[in-house]
A and B are shown apart, each in its own frame.
Chain A
Amino acid sequence: MNAVVEEHHDDHHDHGPAKGITRWLYTTNHKDIGTLYLWFSFAMFFVGGICALGIRAELFQPGLQIVQPELFNQLTTMHGLIMVFGAVMPAFVGLANWLVPMMIGAPDMALPRMNNYSFWILPFAFGMLISTFFMEGGAPNYGWTFYAPLSTEYAPPSVTFFIFAVHLMGISSIMGSINVIVTILNMRAPGMTLMQMPLFVWTWLITAYLLIAVMPVLAGVVTMMLMDIHFGTAFFSAAGGGDPVLFQHVFWFFGHPEVYIMILPAFGVVSAIIPTFARKKLFGYDSMVYATASIAFLSFIVWAHHMFTVGIPLAGELYFMYATMVIAVPTGVKVFNWVATMWQGSMTFETPMLFAIAFVILFTIGGFSGLMLSIVPADFQYHDTYFVVAHFHYVLVPGSIFSIMAAVYYWLPKWTGNMYDETLGKTHFWLSFIGVNVTFFPQHFIGLAGMPRRIPDYALQFADWNMISSCGAFLFGFSQLLFLFIILKCIRGGQKATERVWDGAKGLEWTIPSPAPYHTFSTPPKDMAEAHG
């Protein structure tokens, strides 16, 4: 099983990277590729962020001031697409590239060449997607959920480029997940059983299966759109005997697992960070693994909770309501386990821990609103209002994105060999924490009061909260420039990091020097006690 590792045994394992741009173009090194993914994701985070600030600027006051409705719809659509597929997903793939081999004691990813391809597809995919802004008819304007027939018969011509871009992203994700699965199943250090793997590895293993299962579904739905638009089929066109609701079923069969693709690795990150700073073993490792697996399984059978208002029969509504509510159980188990890990620990509150704790609290708030949304009669009132916007931003921004930030602070010393500036890090945390809550908490109120989502202008009774929300958004957005500055500063220098970096840190990645050498674990590690905290 581990033959690959044994053979790859050479005696010049600290030969460095190639020089110049070709290092990045041709690299097959998991650390280089991880770095590429992370920077790419960060760039997309800013592009998606600019779209968001455009939206929030328009919504600062009632009336149309800054963007007209056509552009507004393009901004909301591109914001969602770029953040989901360009910022959050690549960031987690970047973390997987950097960390999975180091955590399981493998020298690299199993399929390094494919690893290079799966990254380099992305700049083309997103270059093409973003270029649609400059095309006749503008960028996609039908929402990140691109419901037909708005995205087919009524779409701007750029929709074809959008479809192609989605295909490319899907190919990239599938290649990435194959790599993760093969690496984890075949390249663990001798003696490391599955139940000894760090939770980040576990959550990524499960996420990779989710990706392989649902990205083809997404590819399928966009292909059906392509056929409808260019080849005269009528999958989604009622006039041609097709069914617009079919689109939503197929989309959400991809879409719901997709939202878990964006949160399971976050669970892994937080499960690594909290024990370190509580100086106490993770509570309930086994139940964490089972909870993750059950969430993944359940994520396939709840998709129609996004479609409660499309006219599903009573039995269907009830089934999807119950199934959705059940997800709260394993999700609750995770939260309780994290709290139990903190309980009677010996905690310190460095930046990664601050982000991790904020994750637990704010993600839980998102879980509460999720639970409320699962109640069908109430969802009739919440659906497609700002309440839903508040819900998914609570699970995605202080959820997924905070976990990514926590991960960056936590492992940055290992990657760069330098400590980041703790004061600045904490400042960044507090600005982000306040910004996120000021932005998204009022959106619960706006939604309950009745403001639909995806509208460029609104009635006067929504004005107060929108103004507050916009202020929060600018605070959050601009705080991220500080994050960029902190990372650059850390790369350029700073207090030297030790091997272990954090005194409570456990795991194989903390047994190698900081910064991590270009090649690690050319000989597999022996000490498995270290592997899982």
Chain B
Amino acid sequence: MRYWLIDCYTPHLKIVKLGLKTKASMLFNNVIVLSLNGVSQMNNLKQLRHYLLLPMLLFCQTASADFSFWNLRKGVTEISREVYDLHMLIFYICCVIGVIVFGAMIVSMILHRKSLGVKPATFHESTKLEVAWTIIPIVILIGMAVPATSTLRDMYEPGEPDLDVEVRGYQWKWQYTYLNDDPAKEIQFISALRTPQDEIQNRAGKGEHYLLDVDNPLVVPINKRIRFLITSNDVIHSFWVPDFAVKKDAIPGFVHESWAIVEEPGVYRGQCAELCGKDHGFMPIVVHAMEQEDYDNWVLEKQEEAAKVFEIVGKSWSTDELIEKGEEVYARNCVACHQTNGQGIPPAFPSLVGQGIPVGPIAEHIDILLYGRAGTAMQAFGQQLNAAEIAAVVTYTRNAWGNNMQDSVQPKEINVMMASQ
């Protein structure tokens, strides 16, 4: 039984079923705490009981849970389990040393007090002792280094990948590309935070996967060796999926690799682990691992979608269609910096209203969208959005918030510009 120990006294979360009067055995096996959106805060009595229960729950958790909120996760790969065991081993060794050292201090503090009339001893060196407490730690350290080395070697073990995924960090989202010898079959998409601003700004109750939910999760088959080729387009990010024990920095100009063989189907959540600017806390990673069959279906679906996009880009759009689509694109890609009202957060994120590029020549407008502006957070969206999306968002921003430029651009034209570069 997997645990769902969700914070129980945060507003909007409520314990639906928690065996408060249960026997210990129940605590060990299936404490079910569900979260519901928008349910009012739980009453004080329950809260109090929860506080009392908390330490107990925590304690029980270590026994069996694979999801913990006070310890590392065992995860779902052989490597992640090895790492977990290593972590526990070192931890226990530290505990033993701690008990000895702190024990000696406590005994000393109790027995060797002036108030008990103790006369101080006069010894102040002992070569034997000092050699002993140099040698013994060295031996212990070697004992730690051996398993650590072997786990690390396993992690670095080269192997034939079954699937290559390029992971590319952007401020503040991820792009996944399923490399394929046939470029037409390559799947590529952007994966960004799905949690609505209303939840973040406390205007709505927080959902179950608050901040750990994305629009397009990375999808992988189980029991296959997946190689992640990790890089970045702007600043340094770090790709981290705790359940795979994979953490590798995404560094512009470098491609690093890491790999995982996921053993269980499921949804695994992680976050960017290197400070990458304003929304560093808001670029989660979600990996959806599924059976090969389901994965194959997903791939087909994705490829069909790509074909559809091809079609869409080819057709002629009305201005209203462009604006409608553009608003959607803007909300997903632009609001983080330029804000919903287009006013931005100057000077880092300039306003788009009534000034600058959106009310200047349209060619420049398209150019900055496609290629970004070096040295600023304005990215080259040509690599992230398709031609229809670019055309739509350009048209939208030129006509929103009273900009009223009355002009528009067709996806086809964008395509031509992209191809000519």
Contacts and interface: CB of A to CB of B under 8 A. Distances in A.
Contact of B105 (A284, A326, A357, A384): A357
B273 A385 contact: yes
A361 interface: yes
A463 B108 CA distance: 39
B377 interface: yes
Interface in A345-375: 345-349, 357, 360-361, 364-365, 368, 371-372, 375
B298 interface: no
Interface stretch (A161-169, A219-227, A446-454): A446-454
Contacts of B69: 445, 449, 461-462, 464-465
Nearest to A451: B271
Contacts of B108: 339, 342-345, 347
Contacts of B377: 154
B209 interface: yes
A430 B98 CA distance: 22
Given A285-B124, A333-B134, A364-B101, A381 B72 contact: yes
Interface string A488-513: 00000000000000000000000000
Given A325-B141, A360-B105, A464-B7, A377 B82 contact: yes
Nearest to A241: B253
Interface string A315-353: 001100110011011001101110111111111110000
B102 A361 contact: yes
Contact of A309 (B238, B242, B282, B348): B238
Contacts of A459: 209-212
Contacts of A339: 101, 104-105, 108
Given A156-B348, A284-B124, A346-B113, A454 B104 contact: no
A404 interface: no
Given A62-B206, A149-B234, A239 B71 contact: no
Contacts of A256: none
B249 interface: yes
The bracket for how many chain B residues form the interface is 35 or more
B112 A347 contact: yes
B129 interface: yes
Interface in B177-224: 199-202, 206, 208-212
Interface stretch (B142-150, B289-297, B310-318): B142-150
Given A339-B105, A346-B119, A150 B137 contact: no
A377 B86 contact: yes
Interface in A280-306: 280-287
Contacts of B366: none
Given A340-B129, A342-B109, A384-B273, A70 B278 contact: yes
A406 to B, nearest CB: 16
B152 A314 contact: yes
A240 to B, nearest CB: 10
Interface of B: 5-7, 9-10, 13, 35, 54, 68-73, 79, 82-83, 86-87, 90-91, 94, 97-98, 101-102, 104-105, 108-109, 112-115, 118-126, 129-130, 133-134, 137-138, 141, 144-145, 148-149, 151-153, 155-156, 171, 199-202, 206, 208-212, 234-236, 238, 240, 242, 245-249, 251-254, 256, 270-282, 345, 347-348, 374-377
